[in-house]
Structure 1
Amino acid sequence: MIFKLLKKDPKSGARRGVVTTAHGEIQTPIFMPVATHAAMKAMTPAQVHDTGAQIILSNTYHLHLHPGEALVQKAGGLHQFMGWDGPILTDSGGFQVFSLPKKRITEEGVFFRHEDTGEEVFLDPAKAVAIQEALGADIIMNFDECIPYPCEKSYAERSTEKTIRWAKQCREAHKREKQYLFGIVQGSVFEDLRKRCAKELVKMDFPGYAIGGVSVGEGLELLKQVVGYTAPHLPEDKPRYLMGVGLPEDILESVERGIDMFDCVIPTRYARSATLFTNRGRIRLTNKNYRRDFYPIEPNCTCYTCRNFTRAYLHHLFTANEVLSAILASIHNVHFYLNMMAEIRNSIEEGRFKEYKETFLASYLKGK
């Protein structure tokens, strides 16, 4: 991987960079739309591309269960299978596995039940890497233990040590040079554990680093603290990825603390429930106030939906339970996120990120 740091904001830790992969460049900071099952919900790859997406994320756990990595590999890998020619990141499946109600965690890996057949499945660091190598993503992730919140420090200590051991096993199992394996820093909300995990992973010299175990119920203030005392221990010349985050305010606060990459299901999940993002906060288009509202979702938005349709039309689609409602809403929400990221990059280049953040949040949170 080639990561080039282009600019640092003079008044914060915000960074402007570019990541080069086999399937193209990624301008950072960037948001990665989530295509869990090798598909964006309610969007075609062309529509995702048109929103400004540079990289998307798919899920190892779900693709291992359906349709299986062997089939994806036979199809030519994820890019060919899903018709996406840009960079792809796959997560290791750790978050999904550890959120299952019935699983058995051992020092070697995790046993869980197949969601359809009930068959026992075992996933360990080497297997998680092998699955991701077969899927063929550009960036793949270590298998780690995602620590729940809240938890006792004694549990977090044991879990963090396990994540460090598993990271070493992932590093040893990784064979494909054109795929870049990122380490994942765990440690819950405990600063000393985050610092230890980060330092041990940095010794292993991964091409990039992620902060995991956030967005698990700890809230924005704790998220800011965790990112604030973890990011400084990560190399400046490697990309930094905050997993599963999130809302616009989460992203802005984390960019300020030096994070380069983000992912979350929120834009499309909210879209399917008629919740749309605007610069003046979120709006719910099923509200009867929008029945005769002939303005676009966001008057100055350049997405396909806002260029062609009104709030009244989308209100009609949602109340009529038309599939098109989810498509048009998803296009807008993903565009909103990626346009925000483009504005963030511009503000860093111009040395005014702090001003941008304050202006954005003053408008967005007022209407929230």
Structure 2
Amino acid sequence: MAIPKFPSVKQSFHVELKKRINDYFETSGKSVTGNKQLFIKAGVLFTAFLGLYIHLVFFTPSTLWAVLECVILGLVVAGIGFNIMHDGAHGSFSKYKWVNNVAAFSLNLLGGSSFMWNVKHNVIHHAYTNIDGVDDDIDIQPWMRMSSTQPKLKMHKYQHFYFWFLYSMLYILWVFVLDYQKYFKRKIGDMPLKKMTAWDHIVFWGFKAIYLFLFFLVPFYTVGFVPTIIGFLIFSVIAGFILSIVFQLAHTVEHTHFPVPHDESGKLDDEWAIHQLKTTANFAPKNKLISWLVGGLNYQIEHHLFPKISHVHYPAIRKIIKQACSEFNVPYTEYKKMSHAVISHVLFLKQMGRA
């Protein structure tokens, strides 16, 4: 598939948005990157991760405590991904580039590949959101149908029932299957993978080996084979489901669009900013606990429009963006509660499976 093109417009909505957001930061004197609260949160999450790992692996808690700690570990792993790795990968965690690189690099310690994530998420997903054949986030074929342009199989009729299981498998598949597929195919979806340097190859294989050593070989020795496998499954299922559902609620709900480029020109109908607004949704914007846990990714509209602004500023710039959308008659999709977004996602899957 050819790379889609966004149309050029004389009066760009994106330009107006950037002007208003820039004015906000200039007037308030705030930095667009993270602040003290974010750094404290990062410290809490990493401390919790290390504490849980050490206690589970080297102090062998009782069965009930071990299960509870594995559940919490899954929450913490997802939290590190949302709050630290994600902002770092976008260069919004800190004003210092090396700090952002360290934050983004945390993904390698958690079993993923920061190189693959950068291409898949920052380069492709953020540019071509919800475009079938380009955006890898909506390519769960053949197991699920996430767009009307994808082939419909008989089993898709039930995808709104079995998606819970598939989403729970994300972390396991990510660590042990999907990264390797991208590495050997040299593609992400239909998009070619950018050339990897010698250092990129070393980091990829080196940290995959380190992950296996820390999460399997060491626990095998200290607590045994069966407890290690059970514990890994518990925390990875929790992390996988949370990671999956948060990102899917942002783009695959009833009111989001799945634009298709014109056959001859390859152009899309809307300029980039309007495309982002039509393909993205917020949920539970006033729920501080959810916002804290998911790193502001319930403000997905703000994130997609301004990915280099840290999530700690999303509640403030949300008001500016909503006002601009109202003035320019541009859609702004938002669910007041997370449960409403989950219901909408289930209904969307049901529609895609039967339409």
TM-score, normalised to structure 1, is 0.26
The structure whose residues are more often helix, as a share, is 2
Q: Which one has more relative contact order, counting CA pairs under 8 Å at least 6 apart?
A: 2
TM-score, normalised to structure 2, is 0.27
The structure whose residues are more often strand, as a share, is 1
